[in-house]
Structure 1
Amino acid sequence: MINLDGDIQNLPADANLGSILVEHAQPLRAFFAWRHKRNYEGFWFSTTIRSHVPFESLLERQFLLSADFDPSITALSAQPLGLLWPAGTTVDTRNGRTRTLRSHVPDFFCRHTDGSATLIDVRRPDNVGDPHFQLTAELCTVTGWNYSIFTGLESPTAETLDWLAGYRMDRYAPTPESYEKLLTTFDTEKALRTGVRTAARNAELAQDVVLGNVLHLLFHGELHFDPSKPLTMESTIRRHRELTA
């Protein structure tokens, strides 16, 4: 079941499903909120698709943040399709019992730069044994999609990207006149502090303006750092992802 331009269609779960542009699908259901609800929901402005994407938990928000940071993702949609199984379908659970399945709505769908696609469920690490995931993975094998269960970013990557995402918006982007000067500054890797000072001098701009520009370029993958380490003014920044000889 998929909602394309307001038209909900029931499609067979076969290889032809892989040709559908699921990244353009609308959510199958509304995202409701009420007072004292345990989950936190809202909208994440995705700079990847230039639009707001709904989420139903802070873990889903973290996935959307990580998707924005991932240069291989070119498009995505939330709760893009519903999977329906024949009545009486059962699977074995972790405790050895069987469970009857009816339907499942995966959390996100992503399209990548190479044309491949990934269907994503978002769950806490202690809740990845849901039997729906087994059948969802089997469906993805048929359609040619990848399947992934996102369980969260590790520290300090989570904290670094959460902070860096504040600079993802266009207002922090360098001007066309200073763009190449900023990138060229980091042709040779150097500390963030040193690079900002050098770039500010070359572009004749204030250092706080250049710092915002550099952080924007870091989030969007035009400058690179090691996200597994805390980002500080002494962090090593370079233009090219891999070091050159």
Structure 2
Amino acid sequence: MTVLAGTDGDVPYVEVSCVDAAGRRLRRPLLDCATARFEDVVPVRPFRWSRGSHHFPGWYWSSTTGQLVGFESWLKRDHLVLMDFDPAVAQIASQPFWLHWHDGSRERRHAPDFFVRRADGSGMVVDVRADD
């Protein structure tokens, strides 16, 4: 596992990559992203539909954002609707970035489902998973 230089070796090195509104690809250390406006980025992956698939991707018109927000399943859509009705939520971005890290044997990456900017200015990363 890669660790941050100058630390005690317990902090794994994680990077974030995204595509800004101008279409530029950006990649930075996670610790440098505390003030990043992830609500302004475009999804890092496309939402795909295929005949006979078992997931239900789509686009939801969010009154909070005033634009379409993508989802990949009905469960994720349901969470998106709940966030849209939450007065503490000011912005929602779908699949806003990739998280990159090394697990000790190989490079890994994961795109969280949503980034939420709250009305108080704080940010929240939301990953939706079924209970099972």
TM-score bin (small chain): 0.7 to 0.9
Superposed, which structure 2 residues align to 1:1-245 within 5 Å?
1-5=17-21, 6-14=23-31, 16-86=32-102, 89-90=103-104, 102-126=108-132
Q: 1:104 to 1:40 in 2, by over 3 A?
A: same
TM-score, length basis structure 2: 0.83
Q: Using CA pairs under 8 Å that are at least 6 residues apart, name the structure with larger relative contact order, 1 or 2.
A: 2
Moved beyond 6 Å, runs of 4+: none
Identical-pair percentage: 34
Higher-Rg structure is 1
- Count of equivalent residues: 115
Deviation at 1:52, TM superposition (A): 0.6
CA contact (8 A) 1:43 1:54 kept: yes
Unaligned runs of 5+ in 2: 1-16
Deviation at 1:13, TM superposition (A): 1.5
RMSD: 1.3
Deviation track 1:84-124 (CA, whole Å, cap 9, x = no partner) reads: 113xx15xxxxxxxx86611110000001111110000110
TM-score, length basis structure 1: 0.45
Tell me how far apart the structure 2 counterparts of residues 79 and 49 of structure 1 sit (CA, whole Å).
15
Tell me how far apart the structure 2 counterparts of residues 107 and 41 of structure 1 sit (CA, whole Å).
12
Higher share of residues assigned strand: 2
CA contact (8 A) 1:24 1:76 kept: no
Unaligned runs of 5+ in 1: 91-98, 127-245
